[in-house]
């Protein structure tokens, strides 16, 4: 059932958006169950990749970490994803009044963002070979796919005109960009304090 639903989410997201908008509790519940699986994929793939191949930043020798560092990095990665997922759904709920959205149940918003997140989580399989440029190449089209889902689906789920949906989606993209940059900055700060790769500071 879960695999089939995942296929439906990726293949015909429009159908899922309409079901969510109509408050179909069965679909919403099923999509929510997928969330846990999907959100764990990137840190798990990252852990496997850094164990098997090390981080490949382009230079000759890959960077290998001990098992404790790998666990800590994956743990922080999972935390960041969960925090990003929850905060994005809550921010969307907070923004909905500004953009004329009705009172959409929080469960529906969580289900919607699971659909949006799905392509990125699946494509995170690229982390198994953690060459940064390879990952950039794989994730750029996937991010575009997820953004398309966001722009298409948000007006449907929020029941607002497409133009307002575009504005609200752009605001959420702004938030996600800021969140991503924060993640980069936080990572750099953690490396400086000795968590993660060993750097000479």
Partner 1 sequence: MISDGREIYHDGVVKRLIQFSIIWAVVGMVVGVWLAAQLIWPGLDFGQFWLTFGRIRPLHTNGIIFGFGVSALMATAFYSVQRTSNVPLFMPRLAWICCYGWQVLVLLGGISLLAGWTSTKEYAELEWPFDIVITILWVCFAVVFFGTIATRRIRSIYVSNWFYGALIIVIAMLHIVNNLALPVSINKSYSLFPGAQDAIVQWWYGHNAVGFLLTGGFLGMLYYFLPKQSGQPIWSYRLSVISFWAFTYTYIWAGPHHLHYNSIPEWVQSLAMVMSLILLAPSWATMINGIMTVSKAWRKLSVDPALKFIVLALAFYGLATFEGPMMAIRSVNIVSHFTDWTIGHVHSGALGWNAMITYGTFYYMVPHMMGRELYSVRLANIHFWLALAGTMLYILAMWGAGVSQGLLWLSIDDIGELSYSFNDVMAAMVPYYALRLVAGLIFLAGTVLMAYNLFRTMYGRHTVAVSPPLIIDELQGTVYKEEPREPSSGNAQEVPA
Q: Which residues bind partner 1 (CB under 8 A)?
A: 55, 57-61, 63, 98-99, 132-133, 136, 140, 161-164, 166-167, 170-171, 173-174, 177-178, 181-182, 184-185, 187-189, 191-193, 197-201
Q: Are 117 and 142 in contact (CB under 8 A)?
A: no
Quote the least distance from Cβ 144 to partner 1, whole Å: 8
Q: Which long-range contacts (CB under 8 A, 24 or more apart) does 95-99 make?
A: 95/168, 95/171, 95/172, 96/158, 96/168, 98/168, 99/158, 99/160, 99/164, 99/165, 99/167, 99/168, 99/171
CB nearer to partner 1: give 58 or 102. Answer: 58
CB nearer to partner 1: give 83 or 173. Answer: 173
| 126 exposure class (CB count in 10 Å sphere: 0-12, 13-18, 19+) | buried
CB nearer to partner 1: give 10 or 143. Answer: 143
CB nearer to partner 1: give 29 or 161. Answer: 161
Quote the least distance from Cβ 142 to partner 1, whole Å: 12
């Amino acid at each position: 059932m879960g695999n089939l639903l995942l296929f439906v989410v990726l293949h015909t997201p429009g159908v899922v958006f309409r079901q969510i908008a109509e408050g179909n509790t069965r679909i919403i519940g099923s999509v929510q169950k997928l969330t846990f699986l999907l959100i764990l994929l990137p840190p798990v793939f990252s852990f496997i990749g850094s164990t098997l191949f090390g981080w490949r930043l382009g230079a000759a020798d890959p960077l290998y970490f001990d098992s404790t560092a790998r666990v800590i990095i994956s743990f922080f990665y999972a935390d960041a994803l969960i925090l990003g997922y929850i905060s994005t759904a809550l921010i969307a709920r907070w923004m909905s009044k500004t953009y004329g959205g009705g009172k959409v149940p929080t469960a529906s918003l969580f289900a919607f963002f699971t659909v949006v997140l799905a392509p990125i989580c699946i494509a995170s399989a690229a982390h198994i070979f953690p060459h940064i440029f390879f990952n950039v190449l794989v994730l750029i089209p996937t991010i575009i796919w997820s953004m398309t889902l966001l722009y298409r689906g948000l007006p449907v789920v929020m029941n607002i005109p497409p133009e307002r949906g575009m504005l609200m989606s752009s605001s959420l993209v702004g938030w996600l960009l800021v969140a991503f940059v924060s993640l980069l900055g936080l990572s750099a700060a953690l490396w400086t304090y000795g968590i993660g790769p060993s750097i000479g500071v």
